[in-house]
Amino acid sequence: MKRYWSLFVALFAFPVAANAEVPKDDSYSKGEYIYHLSDCGACHTSRTGAPLAGGLSFPTPFGYIYSSNITPDKENGIGSWSYDDFANAMRKGIAKDGHHLYPAMPYPSYSKITDEDLKALYDYLMHRVKPQTTANRDPDIHWPLTMRWPLSIWNMLYTEGKPFKPRADQNAEWNRGAYLVQGPGHCGSCHTPRGIAVQEKSFDDTDPTYLSGGEIYGWYSPSLRNLKLSKEEIIDLLREGRSKHKAIAGAMDEVVTQSTQYMTTEDLNAIATYLLSFKDQELSSPTPPASMPQAAKMNGEALYANYCSTCHGMKGEGVDYVIPKLIDNPTVNRQDPSTLIRILLEGGETPPTQKHLPYAMPGYKWLLDDRDIADITNYIRTSWGNNGSLVTPKDIKKVRTYTTTIP
């Protein structure tokens, strides 16, 4: 996954550059801004294809589906779609010819985008995006699972399709943040847990499951409800993909590269204000630090000194703004270790943004076996005041499977 996100990020430098030529007072600049807020480019550009011509693959339990060409080409894209056709796809997941879209397209969240914003986005896509003649690719799913009518029942059961409703008891900044997170930003599509039919369990803050953490494609997207980050740190992470002590990795990379780096300071402030307003009671009392068996600890410590300490420091202290600190790092200490394990297996890089080239970390999947990776993982989760639970070689094996089965 990581591999393919970063590959098409490189390709996407092209439309970003083209967009940069649109003058700021251009009547389409509002639409361009909404386009960035809602991250269309991340899913609608494939690693080898033309910008917004679709073809990126998405795994489903039944096979792969592919994103569509959303350029204004009349034959292969959405050039012949009226605004109403477009709004139907964006809010109800129904294409112009009446077929139901798979919810890999986040229409359950986009239904909250206001009419004004959606119209600006439509005008931008129709007038500022270059038409591409790439034909849509049929899903690699076998009949009868290709039938799309069950999706209408799924929609009835699991989506709300309601417009965004500002809360009267909150101020304008909070409401702006709520709108951005729930609507165009569709942050819940990764950060909210999914139920038995892979539906998001909730779509707004009236439900305690909203943004409480979810797994998608083998990445764990942490809970955003009790963030142990300051407002400044949240803004840095969303704008630069790194903060003084932490870095963004994995499935969140492309969100930063394609979307949040373009947000205005006011909008980033609004998002941080909204996220920091979630004040749940801590569910469990802090557990005492786990202790590792002596031999495993010595192995973990030696491997850490050998492979990791040159960058992260002997005591996990990192280098401000360049190499994340491993002490008190949410990714290291998180109860669900999958994102941490995945970084150790595959490596990672900070998301490229307009201001920064990525800093990379190598992956150790070819070099170290499950036992060694488990020992390093446990060593950093129990050293320097960290307080993570222990993982087993079996946990490593499970995450390793994701790194080989998902393109």
Check whether the bond before 144 is cis (ω within 30° of 0).
Answer: yes
C-beta of 160 vs 301, nearer to ligand HEC: 301
Q: Report, in Å, the least distance between residue 318 CB and ligand HEC.
A: 8
Q: Report, in Å, the least distance between residue 63 CB and ligand HEC.
A: 12
- Quickly tell me which residue has 């969100």 as its tokens: 255
Taking the CB of residue 8, how many other CB atoms lie within 10 A of it?
20
Q: Report, in Å, the least distance between residue 110 CB and ligand HEC.
A: 6
C-beta of 244 vs 397, nearer to ligand HEC: 244
Cα–Cα nearest to 2, from 381, 394, 363, 398: 363
Angle at 194 between CA 191 and CA 197, to 5 degrees: 155
C-beta of 187 vs 399, nearer to ligand HEC: 187
C-beta of 168 vs 359, nearer to ligand HEC: 359
Q: Report, in Å, the least distance between residue 295 CB and ligand HEC.
A: 19
Q: Report, in Å, the least distance between residue 266 CB and ligand HEC.
A: 15
Which is it for the CA torsion 216, 220, 221, 223, positive or negative?
A: positive
Q: Report, in Å, the least distance between residue 216 CB and ligand HEC.
A: 6
Distance CA 119, CA 79 (A): 15
C-beta of 168 vs 398, nearer to ligand HEC: 398
For 124-140, give one letter per residue: b (16+ CB within 10 A) or e.
bbbebbebbebeebebe
- Quickly tell me which residue has 């500022």 as its tokens: 128
C-beta of 168 vs 363, nearer to ligand HEC: 363
Q: Report, in Å, the least distance between residue 165 CB and ligand HEC.
A: 19
Quick check: 202 and 192 in contact, CB under 8 A? yes
Q: Report, in Å, the least distance between residue 170 CB and ligand HEC.
A: 17
C-beta of 148 vs 397, nearer to ligand HEC: 148
Give residues with Cβ within 8 angstroms of 299, minimum separation 6. Answer: 372, 375
C-beta of 7 vs 168, nearer to ligand HEC: 7
- CA 54 remoteness from chain centre: 18
C-beta of 25 vs 378, nearer to ligand HEC: 378
Quick check: 259 and 304 in contact, CB under 8 A? no
Quick check: 368 and 376 in contact, CB under 8 A? yes
Taking the CB of residue 9, how many other CB atoms lie within 10 A of it?
23
Distance CA 20, CA 14 (A): 10
Q: Report, in Å, the least distance between residue 244 CB and ligand HEC.
A: 11
